């Protein structure tokens, strides 16, 4: 028995592979354009912070199918009529497409493509599930974490949620997304090891309980962690423990942690006890079922808390635990001709053609409005205040950011070097997110904002959509008429 080894090639829904086989065996060719976007912002979210792109590119760049994986598909009961050539195709499969995407940490809104994939049909289809799963999840967490960080008004927020995340990988990437959104770090050690994210830890009730006396536990911990110990003081009686720390301990107490009870009152009392004992350097850290609303409430009531540990609610985006990003066909280019594509299902219609999102920023540096346009429209002609959001991040299957290729070049591949590289890129995304939070209209940052940021379609895009809808509706009416004639003649 060995730890499970993940199988990136098969991280896909079976229908991507049935469609791939049907495209292949029907000789459907051409280059497809797919948009990855969220139709409407979830309730309680007035913006999203895009995240997860690095993992998506990593997947695309490394995607392949091993002989054993192909054998699994070949033996699948649905695939018995599929040609042998399709499986040969899978054996040579690489993703060779182009990807345009908004950089991680960018604020995005409903209907705006976070990514646009342009690739041979089968390639573009097979990657749908992985891209959605990865970008939906990290974007959801970054967007939630931005709310928590905003509520903390400059106080540190540490991500604490792995134990309640949706499994250990979800914990890892929740830590990553939360860091992009402005958290100071995480308790997740793997995230520190792999991504270089600062890690923080305190101690648990079990540690205190294992000693005969609470103070013995405190002394034992301080002995080993004199500079960084955060002592959990609520195992028996919070304020009694704080008092003893000020009276019976000579050593500096770097910080204490409150984890239950009336956190506001306890923090004020604890601060008073500490300050009166000349321990103003001791920080107060709070944890325990926190979210953006409780943090805002604690701060508004004058709680004396220097840093917050936020777990479950942030690592699961508890109030909105799924982001309904979709991946929709927008066009097909065949024989040098691009045909636009839209879907007409009720409430689920889509928008045609390859797109770019343009953002207008005011002279004061505030974002004013976005325009979703066709990719060949150039709004920079209207002034330098318009900036395009989507960048070419992968060309012919290779990431355009050379740093993502560094192991190819034989550079140092130690864990420390890899994590330093990850951290450098993460810090760029984190700086971008921080900048975005300053540039967004202030009213969008209120926790209960009803304001919607203005997003428009360009005239050309709106016109293309209208034309296609008319064509399809005309077709449908024609078909219904034919149907009616047909029935009346029976």
Select from 62, 280, 300, 451 the one that contacts a copy of itself (CB under 8 A): 62
- Among the listed residues 46, 143, 188, 291, the single contact to a copy of itself using CB under 8 A: 188
Answer positive or negative: Cα dihedral of 46, 325, 127, 329: negative
Phi, psi of 18 (to 5 degrees): -65, -40
Q: Which of residues 372-401 bind a copy of itself (CB under 8 A)?
A: 399
CB of 220 to a copy of itself, least distance (A): 4
* Among the residue ranges 95-103, 148-156, 237-245, 444-452, the one whose residues contact a copy of itself (CB under 8 A): 237-245
Per-residue x/- track, 132-171, a copy of itself (CB under 8 A): xxx-xxx---------------------x-xxxxxxxxxx
Binding a copy of itself (rule: CB under 8 A), the pick from 40, 91, 153, 223 is 223
| Of 131 and 371, CB closest to a copy of itself | 131
Positive or negative, the Cα torsion across 195, 197, 203, 205?
negative
Of the residues 84, 154, 224, 410, which one makes contact with a copy of itself according to CB under 8 A: 224
**Contact between 417 and a copy of itself (CB under 8 A)?**
no
Counting other chains too, the contacts that 19-24 makes at CB distance below 8 Å and 24 or more residues apart are 19/125, 20/86, 20/122, 20/125, 20/126, 21/79, 21/82, 21/83, 21/86, 23/121, 23/122, 23/125, 24/83, 24/85, 24/86, 24/89, 24/122
Q: In this chain, which of 40, 91, 153, 228 binds a copy of itself, going by CB under 8 A?
A: 228
Judged by beta carbon, residue 10 or residue 299, the one nearer a copy of itself is: 10
353-to-129, 167, 377, 456, 468 alpha-carbon distances in Å: 21, 37, 12, 16, 11
Residue 346 makes CB contacts below 8 A (sequence gap 6+) with: none
Could you give the CA distance from residue 11 to residue 87 in angstroms, rounded to a whole number?
A: 17
Query: Which residues in 268-307 contact a copy of itself (CB under 8 A)?
Result: none
Helix (H, G, I), strand (E, B) or coil at 377: coil
Binding-site member from 26, 448, 485, 488 for a copy of itself (CB under 8 A): 26
Measured CA to CA, the distance from residue 56 to residue 388 in angstroms comes to 21
Strand-pair partners of 158: 185, 309
Which x/- pattern, by CB under 8 A, does the window 83-122 give for a copy of itself? --------------------------------------x-
Per-residue string for binding with a copy of itself, 431-470, x by CB under 8 A?
----------------------------------------
In the complex with a copy of itself, the residue whose CB is nearer, 284 or 444, is 284
Euclidean distance between CA atoms 222 and 420, whole angstroms: 30
User: Which residue among 91, 251, 392, 416 contacts a copy of itself (CB under 8 A)?
Assistant: 416
Which of 105, 171 has the CB closer to a copy of itself?
171
**CA pair distance 418, 425, nearest whole angstrom:** 11
From 42-50, 73-81, 358-366, 367-375, span contacting a copy of itself (CB under 8 A): 73-81
Is 173:137 a contact under the CB 8 Å cutoff?
A: yes
Chain residues 308-337 in contact with a copy of itself, contact rule CB under 8 A? 312-313, 316-318, 321-325, 327-329, 332
Q: Is 38 in the site for a copy of itself (CB under 8 A)?
A: no
Residue from 85, 91, 153, 204 touching a copy of itself (CB under 8 A): that is: 204
How many residues sit in the footprint of a copy of itself (CB under 8 A)? 144
CA pair distance 135, 55, nearest whole angstrom: 8
String of contacts with a copy of itself for each residue 334-353, x by CB under 8 A: -------xxxxxxxx-----
Residue 268, number of CB atoms within 10 A of its CB: 17
Compute the distance between CA of residue 320 and CA of residue 225 in angstroms, rounded to an integer. 38
Is 428 an interacting residue with respect to a copy of itself (CB under 8 A)? Answer: no
By CB under 8 A, residue 40 contacts a copy of itself: no
Whether the CB-CB separation of 323 and 173 falls below 8 Å is answered with no
Distance of closest approach, residue 304 Cβ to a copy of itself, in angstroms: 20
Examine residue 184 and tell whether it contacts a copy of itself (CB under 8 A).
Answer: no
Whether 120 contacts 286, CB under 8 Å: no
Measured CA to CA, the distance from residue 172 to residue 371 in angstroms comes to 34
Our finding on whether 358 is near a copy of itself (CB under 8 A) is: no
């Amino acid at each position: 028995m060995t730890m499970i080894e993940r199988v990136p090639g098969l991280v896909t829904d079976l229908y991507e592979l049935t469609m791939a086989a049907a495209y292949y065996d029907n000789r459907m060719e051409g280059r497809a354009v797919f948009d990855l976007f969220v139709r409407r912002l979830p309730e309680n979210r007035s913006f999203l912070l895009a995240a997860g792109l690095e993992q998506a590119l990593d997947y695309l760049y490394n995607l392949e199918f091993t002989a054993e994986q192909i054998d699994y598909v070949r033996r699948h009961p649905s695939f018995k009529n599929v040609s042998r050539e399709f499986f040969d195709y899978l054996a040579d499969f690489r993703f060779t497409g182009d990807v345009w995407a908004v950089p991680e940490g960018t604020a995005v809104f409903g209907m705006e493509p976070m990514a646009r994939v342009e690739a041979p049909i089968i390639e573009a289809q097979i990657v749908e599930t992985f891209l959605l799963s990865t970008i939906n999840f990290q974007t959801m967490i970054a967007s939630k974490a931005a709310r928590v960080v905003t509520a903390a008004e400059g106080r540190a927020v540490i991500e604490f949620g792995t134990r309640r995340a949706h499994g250990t990988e979800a914990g890892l990437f929740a830590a990553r997304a939360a860091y992009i959104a402005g958290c100071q770090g995480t308790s997740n050690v793997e995230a520190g090891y792999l991504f270089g994210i600062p890690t923080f830890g305190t101690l648990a009730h079990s540690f205190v309980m294992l000693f005969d006396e609470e103070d013995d536990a405190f002394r034992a911990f301080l002995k080993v962690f004199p500079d960084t110990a955060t002592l959990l003081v609520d195992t028996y009686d919070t304020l009694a423990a704080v008092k003893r720390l000020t009276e019976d301990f000579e050593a500096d107490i770097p910080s204490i942690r409150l984890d239950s009870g009336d956190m506001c009152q306890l923090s004020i009392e604890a601060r008073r006890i500490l300050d009166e004992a000349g321990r103003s350097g001791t920080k107060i850290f709070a944890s325990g079922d926190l979210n953006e609303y409780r943090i805002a409430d604690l701060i508004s009531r004058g709680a004396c808390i220097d840093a917050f540990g936020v777990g479950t609610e942030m690592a699961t985006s508890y109030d909105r635990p799924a982001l309904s990003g979709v991946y929709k066909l927008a066009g097909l280019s065949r024989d040098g001709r691009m045909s636009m594509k839209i879907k007409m299902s009720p409430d689920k219609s889509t928008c045609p053609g390859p797109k770019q999102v343009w953002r207008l920023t005011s002279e004061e540096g505030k974002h004013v409005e976005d325009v979703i346009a066709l990719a060949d429209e150039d709004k920079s002609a209207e002034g330098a205040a318009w900036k395009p959001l989507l960048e070419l991040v992968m060309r012919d299957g290779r990431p355009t950011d050379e740093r993502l290729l560094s192991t190819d070049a034989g550079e140092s591949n130690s864990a420390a070097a890899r994590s330093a590289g990850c951290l450098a890129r993460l810090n760029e995304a984190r700086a971008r997110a921080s900048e975005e939070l300053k540039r967004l209209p202030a009213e969008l940052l209120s926790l209960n904002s009803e304001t919607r940021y203005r997003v428009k379609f360009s005239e050309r895009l709106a016109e293309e959509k209208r034309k296609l809808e008319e064509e399809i509706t005309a077709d449908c009416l024609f078909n219904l008429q034919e149907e009616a004639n047909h029935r009346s003649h029976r």
